[in-house]
C-alpha cells in the first residue's frame, strides 16, 4: 500500500463519495429514476465499469466482503481486474461465494442464488437510458420520463411482434419499476429480469460515462414490459448444465471442437462450483456413462 | 474434457509484463528521458496536457512515455491522475492581450498593430524528410525580438471599434464558471461549459467537424481574425491577501474566428465570433474549436440547426476521446452472456422461418 499512500480508502476522496452517496440516496428514494451525478475519471476505461466502480467505492466499508463478476463468472479478466483494484485501494476481503459477499459488483448477470437483505448488488451500466435507441436525445428522453410517456417503447415491442412473431429483445429488456419509471436493467439477459422483482437486496446501477445512477430499493416491484397476449417469458435451455446438472439456470454455450460439438454450462461459476461440491454431477463430468464421449 | 477456465489473474499479470517489455523495447538502446520528451516531442506533450485538462509538462511527458506514444492513452493516464487532485481555488480569467507573444497571425488584415509574427510554425516548410535529423546536427540559435514585452491588441478590438463585431458578451455578476469534471452535464449547456468540453475534446473529431462546416454542412463563412500563441500569467485571488498573486505562466494557443452574420429581425448585420483556446501550441485544435464553437451558436443567432457540427448534444456528447475510446474498446470485453441470448433468439426465429416451407417437421 505504500506506493498508493496518496490515495484515499477505496480510491475516491471523501467529498466525491459524499456526492455519489447523495445521488444514490436520491436514486433509492425515486426507484428507477436516473439521477445525474458528477462521474469522476477513474483509472480504468469508460465502458469497463467505471460507474459500478464508483458506486462500489462510495458504499464500500472496511468490513465489507466484495464479490465481482462479469458474465456471471468471477474469473473473467475484467472481474479479476476490478476485484484486484479494490483489494489494492481498499484492502477489503474479497470472495467468489455469492452468499458470503455483502457487495456484489456485476456486469451482465444476476447471481442464480437468491440474494438477501444484507447484500447490495451493484450493476455496471453502459447506456442507462432505456429509450436511447428510440430517441437519441437526452433532452427528449428526460421529458418522456417526466411525462411517463412510454408509448414509443410499447410501439417498439409491438413492432417486434408484428415483424418476428415475438419480442426480439433478449437482453437489456426494459422493466417498469414501482409502477412508474421504465428502466434499463443493464445488459443482463432477460432471463435475469424476474430476479430483480421484490428482491431483498438493494440494487444499485452506475453508469460512469453517461453520468447516471439509479436504484431499485429492496422489495420493489420490477415488471418486465409485455402484452397480455404476448406475456414476458425468459429463455429456456433444453439441457441442464453439463457440469453440475442444474436446470432453470442461465447457461453458456461452450464450443468443444470444429465439428459442431458444444456443451452448455452454468454462466454463474460460483453457483456451479457450489453444486458440484454438494455432489451434483452433470453429464460431462464422466459419472454418467452413456453421456461420456 | 472441458474445465471451467481459470487463470485470469495470471494472464493479466503476464500481459502487463509483456507490455512493460514492449514499452522498453531494445535494452541496448538508452531509455528515453522525460526531459527529452518534454523538449523534443513538445507538441505531443501539449496535446496530452490540453485534452487531459492538466497543465504539467513533466507528467504529460511521463504519460506519453508510459503509453508508448499512444496519445489518447496518455491523455487518459493524465486525466485519471487529475481527477484525484484537490481544487484549492479558481484563477482569475487569463488576459491574452497581455500575452508574451511567440506567434501571432491574422488573415483579415495585411498588417495590424503589433504586426504579424510567424513564430515556430510548420507553415511554409516544405514537407521533405530531413536527413540531417538522423544525427544530432547542431541547430543555430533563433533570432529574437526586442519589443517582446509590449501588449498586443486583439483583432476583435479593432473591429469592435466600429461596432462591426459582436462584443465579448456579458455574464451575470454572480456567474461561477462551470466545471464539467465536477458537475453532471446538462443540455442545453451554457457557453462556458461548452467551450470547456471543446477545449478538452478530441483534436481529430473537432478537426473533422470544423472541416465539415467548411464543406457546406453548416457553413459559417469563417475568417481567421487572429491566432496567437504565447505565455500568459495565471493569477489567483487570495482572499487572505486581498489581491491576486501570480502562480506562474502557461503556454496557450488562442484563435478568434470571425464569421459573417447577415443579421436577423432582432440584430443588425454584424460579424460574429467563434472562440478557441487550448493549452500549449496547437493551432489545428484551436482553429477547429473556434469553428465548432461558432457552429454550435447557431440557435443563438436564430439560424436553423441543419448539420452535425451545429448540434450541441451530438457534438458535446461525442467529442471526448477518453469516453469514446473506452466505450468503443469495451466491445472487446466478454459479451458471451448476451450473445448467448441472441444466439437463442436467432435459432428460434430461423426455426420459425423454416416452418412454412416444411410443415411436417417443424424444427426444435
pLDDT digits (tens, 9 = 90+) for A166-216: 898 999 999 999 999 999 999 999 999 999 999 999 999 999 999 999 999
Which of the following is catalytic: A72, A241, A245, A282?
A241
Q: Are strands B100-105 and B222-238 parallel, antiparallel or unpaired?
A: antiparallel
The x, y and z cell numbers of residue B284, run together, are 489545428
SS3 content of chain B, % helix, strand, coil (to 5): 40, 15, 45
Residues B222 and B306 in one domain: yes
**Distance (Å, rounded) from C-alpha A93 to C-alpha A98?**
13
For residue B274, is it within any domain? Answer: yes
Subunit contact A41:B333, Cβ cutoff 8 A:
no
> What is the predicted pLDDT for the residue at A286?
64
Catalytic, A51? Answer no
For residue B136, is it within any domain? Answer: no
For residue B126, is it within any domain? Answer: no
Measured between beta carbons, the chain B residues lying within 8 angstroms of A250 are 337, 340
Subunit contact A272:B4, Cβ cutoff 8 A:
yes
**Distance (Å, rounded) from C-alpha B266 to C-alpha A3?**
61
Strand, helix or coil for residue B319: coil
Strand, helix or coil for residue B199: helix
Residues B264 and B166 in one domain: yes
Residues B75 and B183 in one domain: no
CA of B262 to nearest chain A CA: how many angstroms apart?
30
Residue A249 sits at the chain B interface (C-beta within 8 Å): no
The x, y and z cell numbers of residue B27, run together, are 535494452
In the A/B pair of chains, how many CB contacts fall below 8 A? 151
Which of the following is catalytic: A52, A245, A272, A282?
A272
Residues B105 and B17 in one domain: no
pLDDT digits (tens, 9 = 90+) for B101-136: 999 999 988 888 888 999 999 999 999 999 999 999
Residues B117 and B256 in one domain: yes
For residue B45, is it within any domain? Answer: yes
Q: Are strands A103-107 and A65-70 parallel, antiparallel or unpaired?
A: parallel
Which phi and psi angles does A222 have, rounded to 5°? Answer: -130, 110
| Structural domains of chain B, count | 2
Q: What is the DSSP letter of B29?
A: S
Subunit contact B4:A269, Cβ cutoff 8 A:
yes
Residues B318 and B182 in one domain: yes
Residues B24 and B111 in one domain: no
The x, y and z cell numbers of residue B319, run together, are 467529442
Per-residue pLDDT for B240 more than 80?
yes
Residues B186 and B310 in one domain: yes
Closest CA to B105 of B206, B233, B253, B219: B253
Q: Which residues contact B213 (CB under 8 A, 6 or more apart)?
A: B219, B220, B222, B291, B292, B294, B295, B307, B309
For residue B262, is it within any domain? Answer: yes
Residues B107 and B31 in one domain: no
Produce one character per residue of A39-54: b if its CB has 16 or more CB atoms within 10 Å, e if not: bbbbbbbbbbbbbbbb
Count other Cβ atoms within 10 Å, centred on residue B129: 7
Residues B49 and B166 in one domain: no
Residues B62 and B117 in one domain: no
> What is the predicted pLDDT for the residue at A3?
46
Residues B67 and B215 in one domain: no
Which residues span the domain enclosing B52? 9-82
For residue B335, is it within any domain? Answer: no
Q: Report whether A120 contacts A204 (CB < 8 A).
A: yes
For cell 500500500, the residue is A1
**Distance (Å, rounded) from C-alpha A196 to C-alpha A220?**
8
For residue B91, is it within any domain? Answer: no
**Distance (Å, rounded) from C-alpha B341 to C-alpha A171?**
7
Lowest mean pLDDT among A155-164, A270-279, B259-268, B318-327: B259-268
Subunit contact A252:B4, Cβ cutoff 8 A:
no
pLDDT digits (tens, 9 = 90+) for A51-95: 999 999 999 999 999 999 999 999 888 999 999 999 999 999 999
pLDDT digits (tens, 9 = 90+) for B32-72: 999 999 999 999 999 999 999 999 999 999 999 999 999 99
For residue B194, is it within any domain? Answer: yes
Q: Find the closest chain A residue to B313 by CA distance.
A: A137
pLDDT digits (tens, 9 = 90+) for B281-318: 999 999 999 999 999 999 888 888 999 999 999 999 99
Indicate the residue of A38, A71, A209 with minimum beta-carbon distance to B326. Answer: A209
Count other Cβ atoms within 10 Å, centred on residue B19: 11
Per-residue pLDDT for B195 more than 60?
yes
Amino acid at each position: 500500500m505504500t506506493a498508493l499512500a496518496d490515495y484515499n480508502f477505496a480510491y475516491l476522496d471523501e467529498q466525491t463519495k459524499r456526492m455519489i452517496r447523495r445521488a444514490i440516496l436520491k436514486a433509492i428514494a425515486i426507484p428507477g429514476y436516473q439521477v445525474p451525478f458528477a462521474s469522476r475519471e477513474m483509472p480504468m476505461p469508460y465502458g469497463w465499469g467505471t460507474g459500478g466502480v464508483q458506486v462500489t467505492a462510495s458504499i464500500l466499508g472496511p468490513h465489507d466482503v466484495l464479490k465481482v463478476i462479469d458474465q456471471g463468472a468471477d474469473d473473467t479478466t475484467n472481474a479479476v481486474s476490478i476485484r484486484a483494484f479494490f483489494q489494492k485501494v481498499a484492502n477489503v476481503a474479497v470472495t467468489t461465494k455469492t452468499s458470503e459477499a455483502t457487495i456484489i459488483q456485476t456486469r451482465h448477470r444476476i447471481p442464480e442464488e437468491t440474494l438477501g437483505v444484507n447484500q447490495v448488488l451493484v450493476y455496471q451500466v453502459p447506456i442507462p437510458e432505456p429509450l436511447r435507441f428510440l430517441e437519441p436525445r437526452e433532452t427528449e428522453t428526460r421529458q418522456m420520463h417526466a411525462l411517463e410517456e412510454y408509448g414509443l417503447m410499447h410501439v417498439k415491442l409491438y413492432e417486434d411482434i408484428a415483424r418476428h412473431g415475438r419480442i426480439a429483445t433478449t437482453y437489456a429488456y426494459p422493466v417498469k419499476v414501482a409502477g412508474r419509471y421504465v428502466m434499463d436493467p443493464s445488459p443482463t439477459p432477460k432471463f435475469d429480469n424476474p430476479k430483480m422483482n421484490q428482491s431483498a437486496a438493494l440494487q444499485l446501477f452506475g453508469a460512469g460515462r453517461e453520468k447516471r445512477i439509479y436504484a431499485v430499493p429492496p422489495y420493489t416491484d420490477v415488471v418486465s414490459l409485455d402484452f397480455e397476449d404476448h406475456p414476458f417469458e425468459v429463455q429456456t435451455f433444453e439441457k441442464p448444465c453439463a457440469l453440475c446438472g442444474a436446470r432453470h439456470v442461465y447457461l453458456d454455450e461452450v464450443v468443444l471442437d470444429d465439428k459442431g460439438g458444444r456443451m452448455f454450462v452454468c454462466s454463474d461459476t460460483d453457483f456451479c462450483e457450489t453444486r458440484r461440491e454438494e455432489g451434483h454431477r452433470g453429464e460431462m463430468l464422466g459419472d454418467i456413462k452413456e453421456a461420456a464421449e | 474434457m472441458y474445465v471451467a477456465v481459470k487463470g485470469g489473474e495470471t494472464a493479466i499479470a503476464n500481459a502487463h509484463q509483456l507490455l512493460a517489455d514492449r514499452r522498453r523495447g531494445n535494452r541496448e538502446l538508452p531509455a528515453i528521458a522525460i526531459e527529452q520528451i518534454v523538449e523534443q516531442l513538445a507538441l505531443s506533450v501539449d496535446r496530452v496536457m490540453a485534452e487531459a485538462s492538466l497543465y504539467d509538462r513533466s507528467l504529460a511527458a511521463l504519460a506519453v512515455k508510459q503509453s508508448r506514444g499512444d496519445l489518447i492513452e496518455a491523455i487518459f493516464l493524465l486525466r485519471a491522475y487529475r481527477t484525484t487532485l484537490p481544487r484549492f481555488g479558481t484563477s482569475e480569467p487569463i488576459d491574452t492581450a497581455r500575452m508574451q507573444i511567440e506567434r501571432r497571425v491574422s488573415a483579415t488584415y495585411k498588417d495590424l498593430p503589433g504586426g504579424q509574427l510567424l513564430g515556430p510554425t510548420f507553415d511554409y516548410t516544405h514537407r521533405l524528410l530531413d536527413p540531417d535529423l538522423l544525427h544530432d546536427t547542431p541547430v543555430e540559435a533563433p533570432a529574437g525580438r526586442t519589443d517582446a514585452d509590449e501588449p498586443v491588441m486583439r483583432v476583435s478590438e479593432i473591429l469592435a471599434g466600429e461596432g462591426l463585431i459582436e462584443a465579448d458578451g456579458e455574464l451575470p455578476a454572480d456567474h461561477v464558471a462551470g466545471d464539467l469534471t465536477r458537475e453532471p452535464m446538462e443540455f442545453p449547456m451554457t457557453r462556458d461549459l461548452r467551450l470547456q468540453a471543446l477545449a478538452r475534446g478530441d483534436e481529430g473529431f473537432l478537426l473533422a467537424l470544423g472541416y465539415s462546416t467548411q464543406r457546406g454542412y453548416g457553413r459559417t463563412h469563417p475568417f481567421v481574425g487572429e491566432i496567437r500563441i504565447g505565455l500568459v500569467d495565471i493569477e489567483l485571488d487570495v482572499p487572505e491577501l486581498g489581491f491576486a498573486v501570480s502562480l506562474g505562466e502557461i503556454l496557450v494557443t488562442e484563435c478568434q474566428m470571425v464569421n459573417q452574420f447577415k443579421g436577423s429581425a432582432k440584430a443588425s448585420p454584424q460579424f460574429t465570433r467563434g472562440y478557441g483556446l487550448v493549452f500549449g501550441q496547437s493551432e489545428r485544435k484551436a482553429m477547429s474549436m473556434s469553428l465548432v464553437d461558432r457552429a454550435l451558436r447557431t440557435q443563438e443567432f436564430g439560424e436553423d440547426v441543419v448539420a452535425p457540427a451545429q448540434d450541441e448534444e451530438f457534438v458535446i456528447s461525442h467529442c471526448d476521446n477518453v469516453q469514446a475510446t473506452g466505450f468503443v474498446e469495451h466491445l472487446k470485453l466478454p459479451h458471451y452472456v448476451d450473445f448467448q441470448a441472441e444466439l437463442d433468439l436467432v435459432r428460434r426465429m430461423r426455426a420459425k422461418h423454416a416452418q412454412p416451407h416444411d410443415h411436417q417437421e417443424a424444427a426444435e
